[in-house]
Structure 1
């Protein structure tokens, strides 16, 4: 990307609206870390220095006496505010204690017996309790009426006439190895709580997102950090060799020695042997205009929708500065995000970071992310170090609604646990979370959004199944929710703790299971069992993806189809690559003719996935008619396919991250070389009763289901079974 002549700062003088604020900003003096450290140590010894002491500090630090004086005044004000907050906390604690005593006394009074009649005393709260129950009953009746009217509209009869809800079987297709019933399946009952992480839905596990209660000094410091990060990222963008070197696969990787010479940091964390650095850079063209991209990056919900295969959770904790209306320029947010590789074997990464957006010139934006280090006693302080150094994107408008995006990733990661051996090459080569994965995912999702916006009927349906553009959009929305649900179901986040089943017989990794109670509108109510395993195959990822994508080969791996062939009855393209599409499949010779399979496949150079889900015919008709598909229950299963990160088998060069010479982080083999890492995952509704116990036979069945699927895949691809 080119900025034209001059430094980025020069461009500000050409715009009338921002020149005054920029001049004011230049007059603002930022203290260095060393100056602040010296001032803080002096403050501890003497909060009220006299004129002589201030003059001495002025000479030592190269600051004006007035600056010294004002700094100490501000620090005293901040200290006073902290003491007041501490006093307030103490008073609140005392208040809570009195309130608890009050509740305890009221509870004790309820058990008092009246001496005259021997009965309980009159309770003043009975009337209010009764009123509360009446109100809840009215609300529930209203909800029932609403659901009943929806059911009558879509199913053709009111909900009162429907048969009682039965738990959904493992698949819409016949299951040769046994199905689940609403009653117990015999054998010992396994309590839900025996499986860790079972008490809540995975989507409910969120860190504290209450406001961070930032002081003006905190916000000023954050602004300084963000501005410095922006300057560093612009230099990272504009500099090539020797700072950025070409890896064996042609990717831009960072030379750490050159980086440390250019950006010396006193607080380097590389001395910790468990911390490793990943840094990479990539650029490409995406089919979306710059301002729309900026808007999606600055909105955490849109950010999650844009990267469903990478971002499992994102939240804005506090908006430090809202920036200019309409362009986000100057916007600064304190954010949280959790990132994943699509396998339960790889720990998620959590970041608390500042996201700062600046419009460099007309049609050119920069968005920088940089970690903000909270004190260890703060609620936001991470247990393990996932530190984002200045990283982010440059977005430049191009003709016809396209943008050129340059992406820089630069992180220091402390491994929570040793990286699983299957994923070691992928992680340490920088491919797993590198700039290339982010950018290729962005390109693919922008193509998908462009297809969603096309009003013309670009679908290939065999028999006029999807009648309108609205129907296409509704189907795409349903499929996107299916993919997002699937990605969340195999996440290794804290709310999704996995239990490994031993004795699976197919590999030493075993099958990992987790269970949660589902109550979301888009999921079937009840107890859901998720199970997954990851295998390595000595076959390129594209070959594996083509195998799963080929509907003619489905009977070879889909053990639930009983060898029945499937036919594609509707097809929606998600971009120019034929592998990016949504399909509706119908199974031949199935005893359940009213069930179809909704499937989405996604592929780019960083990996691919095939996600599918049984959906009954009435629900498919709802989506195809253009109605809101939000309430259609989905329980998807599928496969993720990643490169293994190993060097090209044909001698394409070893990973540069293991070089004993110059330290180059993020080198390694290209995604197309080596073998494949395949995660096989199923979700099963064990019971439609949220209070049900998980039967041990259910676990045994899903273990067998995954084991048989893996054996079928290996046999079909001529791989050894052990």
Structure 2
């Protein structure tokens, strides 16, 4: 309530006001009250009486409405002033950094040497204090680790570079805030403890001038992104695709609203814009989701089918007052489509997180040219314009997310004809695909909190909460290894084998693994992608059906399988983790098949691996499953992105009319040798080539698609 207006305070009616029930004004009453408020925020008694007669309201109600409206207006002005002051503060901070950088390069006019550093003693003291704190932290971590491994940890013989985030996992589980309502089970994600992929270039740090420029770029990108996320027509228009309706950016409206963003990355006929927007509800806590987005490893774990690699190059700002608001990071990302026929996309970008208001957070990504910092980065063909997500708290532990993807693409290589429609129509990395995968992953972690998600009617043992957690970790690691085996990178260089599968061929690669939980020695991977005139749902049902597994699984030797038990990990019943065994094969009773199936609006995924019965019991008992070696195989199924008419005959016609064709990727892995020193031979390549050719031919024959590719 404001002060300074005598007619605004009426304490004599306070007791009577408490007994009155809340009255909601009609739209006509509010319209007339707003009209008078614009002309006269402080109406006198005569004006209030006139409004009371016109609107059939008591004078006291009129007075209170104007009083509350003035308070609301005052709060809006204060909020606007705070935003302006915050922007001015950021601007002054950037200028301060630039001035300090300039002062360091000043030359003394008398001697021609560098100026005397007045803060040398202070900086040295700060470094000594930080060094002492780091030593205390190292001692504490060493004592905690010693409890788990059963022996003391000796000091390192020499100081070696350690990733800044490599010691954060044990801290996160103790210091994580206790959120109300369902939230992601953060322990299922390895986060900062997992292996960090090396950067494709040596990086020595960013200058203060570069940091100042990055802060300015991030602030401008945040302003543009918030407008993109909250503005509808004519900026965004509805567009019909093969998978439904989605928001597509209207470029003319965008150029009028953001004239400074009209300069393209490259002026070429092959340059195109991919821009889309989507929104949805997630069963997770907003703050937990923000923290995971700002952790590069957890970010990659949330999107295993999209994000191939993720790395924080440098943290420019860690946030204000212990929160993520104001956090700014320079990141490196590699995005992929799960097929050896599609090249990956590399981005060097800034990720800026800011709390817009209570319960509303924004995270924006924008590409940044690092050529001024290092000359070793090749020119990128992908430029991320302000993109990201707007996350808003909702009741009952949910949050609403609005996702914007805005990328400028310079195609310098030809796209394989199988994936041309999917990629050129912007469907491969559209906003709806990101939200679909994120929603499925949030449901996966939330299901861990629900008891009774196993299937007792299958006759198997229902795992405990610890057993379910261990099984989910094991299955997630299997899916991650499978996705990593398909990506083209420095570790997986594909070699195309001619013949067998038309002009697509089979792509073969190999790698040597010594990591924990990986099969030691030499692992050979073979993958191929084909087109089938069937809807993704029908194709997924074929692979998921235990009765038809013997028609495509060359490892089953024609024997049928049965499901031992199942752990449901999503709202869709086909989102589950299963353990299968061969029904009539006494020679392999100790070998089971661990399988996870994933389904969402962006596509389907089935990953499986043979696991020893002893290892399954280890995971079922809730013990650590990180030592169990897995060699996963599987299938990815995505829509082809083309629009089709329901023409044709037989099963193909029925399937096509239900959803168009599908792009199927088949990937098989075999352990050639358990010795790290072993080398690849032609016999192993021939074996895996025959395996994948046989698998594809059996799939086509079983689905009556022998002529489809």
TM-score greater than 0.5 by the shorter chain: yes
Return the alpha-carbon distance in structure 2 between the equivalents of residues 72 and 637 of structure 1.
Answer: 53
- 1:325 to partner: Cα distance: 4.3
The partner residue of 2:512 within 517, 520, 525 is 517
Return the alpha-carbon distance in structure 1 between the equivalents of residues 350 and 74 of structure 2.
Answer: 23
Please tell me whether the aligned partners of residues 255 and 262 of structure 2 are also in contact (alpha carbons under 8 angstroms).
Answer: no
| Aligned residue in 2 for 1:404 | 400
Aligned to 1:528, the other structure's residue is in SS state strand
- 1:385 to partner: Cα distance: 2.2
Return the alpha-carbon distance in structure 2 between the equivalents of residues 620 and 12 of structure 1.
Answer: 63
The partner residue of 2:637 within 634, 641, 645 is 641
Within the alignment, does 1:594 sit opposite 2:594 as a pair? no
Aligned to 2:678, the other structure's residue is in SS state coil
| Aligned residue in 2 for 1:243 | 235
Please tell me whether the aligned partners of residues 525 and 667 of structure 2 are also in contact (alpha carbons under 8 angstroms).
Answer: yes
Matches within 5 A, 1:40-79: 76-77=102-103
Could you tell me which runs of 5 or more consecutive residues in structure 1 were left unpaired when the two chains were aligned.
Answer: 33-66, 82-86, 89-142, 148-202, 652-669
Within the alignment, does 1:26 sit opposite 2:92 as a pair? no
Please tell me whether the aligned partners of residues 209 and 315 of structure 1 are also in contact (alpha carbons under 8 angstroms).
Answer: no
Within the alignment, does 1:323 sit opposite 2:385 as a pair? no
Return the alpha-carbon distance in structure 2 between the equivalents of residues 71 and 554 of structure 1.
Answer: 64
Return the alpha-carbon distance in structure 2 between the equivalents of residues 601 and 291 of structure 1.
Answer: 29
Within the alignment, does 1:207 sit opposite 2:269 as a pair? no
| Aligned residue in 2 for 1:680 | 666
The partner residue of 2:250 within 246, 255, 261 is 255
Could you tell me which runs of 5 or more consecutive residues in structure 2 were left unpaired when the two chains were aligned.
Answer: 1-33, 35-71, 108-112, 115-145, 151-194, 648-655
The normalised TM-score by structure 1 is 0.70
Return the alpha-carbon distance in structure 2 between the equivalents of residues 592 and 550 of structure 1.
Answer: 21
Return the alpha-carbon distance in structure 1 between the equivalents of residues 74 and 675 of structure 2.
Answer: 62
Residues 348 and 494 of structure 1: CA distance in aligned 2, closer, same or farther (over 3 Å): farther
Higher relative contact order (CA closer than 8 Å, sequence separation 6+):
1
| Aligned residue in 1 for 2:280 | 284
| Aligned residue in 2 for 1:217 | 209
- 1:28 to partner: Cα distance: 5.7
Within the alignment, does 1:355 sit opposite 2:351 as a pair? yes
Matches within 5 A, 1:7-156: 23-26=85-88, 29=91, 76-77=102-103
Residues 721 and 558 of structure 1: CA distance in aligned 2, closer, same or farther (over 3 Å): farther
The partner residue of 1:708 within 694, 699, 704 is 694
Residues 618 and 75 of structure 1: CA distance in aligned 2, closer, same or farther (over 3 Å): closer
- 1:466 to partner: Cα distance: 3.4
The partner residue of 1:530 within 525, 534, 551 is 525
Please tell me whether the aligned partners of residues 11 and 361 of structure 1 are also in contact (alpha carbons under 8 angstroms).
Answer: no
Aligned to 1:694, the other structure's residue is in SS state coil
| Aligned residue in 1 for 2:573 | 578
Return the alpha-carbon distance in structure 2 between the equivalents of residues 71 and 704 of structure 1.
Answer: 62
Q: Deviations over 1:129-173 (max 9, x none)?
A: xxxxxxxxxxxxxx9xx89xxxxxxxxxxxxxxxxxxxxxxxxxx
The partner residue of 1:384 within 377, 380, 391 is 380
Q: Deviations over 1:262-312 (max 9, x none)?
A: 212363235223332111000000111111111111111111111111111
| Aligned residue in 2 for 1:719 | 705
Residues 515 and 377 of structure 1: CA distance in aligned 2, closer, same or farther (over 3 Å): same
Return the alpha-carbon distance in structure 2 between the equivalents of residues 219 and 73 of structure 1.
Answer: 13
- 1:384 to partner: Cα distance: 2.8
Return the alpha-carbon distance in structure 2 between the equivalents of residues 16 and 630 of structure 1.
Answer: 53
- 1:646 to partner: Cα distance: 0.5
| Aligned residue in 2 for 1:477 | 473
Please tell me whether the aligned partners of residues 584 and 599 of structure 1 are also in contact (alpha carbons under 8 angstroms).
Answer: yes
Higher deviation after alignment, 72-81 or 631-640: 72-81
- 1:465 to partner: Cα distance: 2.0
- 1:644 to partner: Cα distance: 0.5
| Aligned residue in 2 for 1:499 | 495
Q: Deviations over 1:346-390 (max 9, x none)?
A: 111111111111111111101100011112671563433221000
Aligned to 2:340, the other structure's residue is in SS state coil
Count residues with an aligned counterpart: 543
Please tell me whether the aligned partners of residues 278 and 410 of structure 1 are also in contact (alpha carbons under 8 angstroms).
Answer: yes
Return the alpha-carbon distance in structure 1 between the equivalents of residues 196 and 364 of structure 2.
Answer: 29
Return the alpha-carbon distance in structure 1 between the equivalents of residues 363 and 638 of structure 2.
Answer: 28
Aligned to 1:529, the other structure's residue is in SS state strand
The normalised TM-score by structure 2 is 0.72
| Aligned residue in 1 for 2:534 | 539
Within the alignment, does 1:295 sit opposite 2:291 as a pair? yes
Return the alpha-carbon distance in structure 1 between the equivalents of residues 250 and 409 of structure 2.
Answer: 17
Aligned to 1:419, the other structure's residue is in SS state coil
- 1:690 to partner: Cα distance: 1.1
Residues 208 and 706 of structure 1: CA distance in aligned 2, closer, same or farther (over 3 Å): closer
Within the alignment, does 1:344 sit opposite 2:340 as a pair? yes
Please tell me whether the aligned partners of residues 565 and 579 of structure 2 are also in contact (alpha carbons under 8 angstroms).
Answer: yes
Residues 260 and 25 of structure 1: CA distance in aligned 2, closer, same or farther (over 3 Å): closer
- 1:613 to partner: Cα distance: 0.1
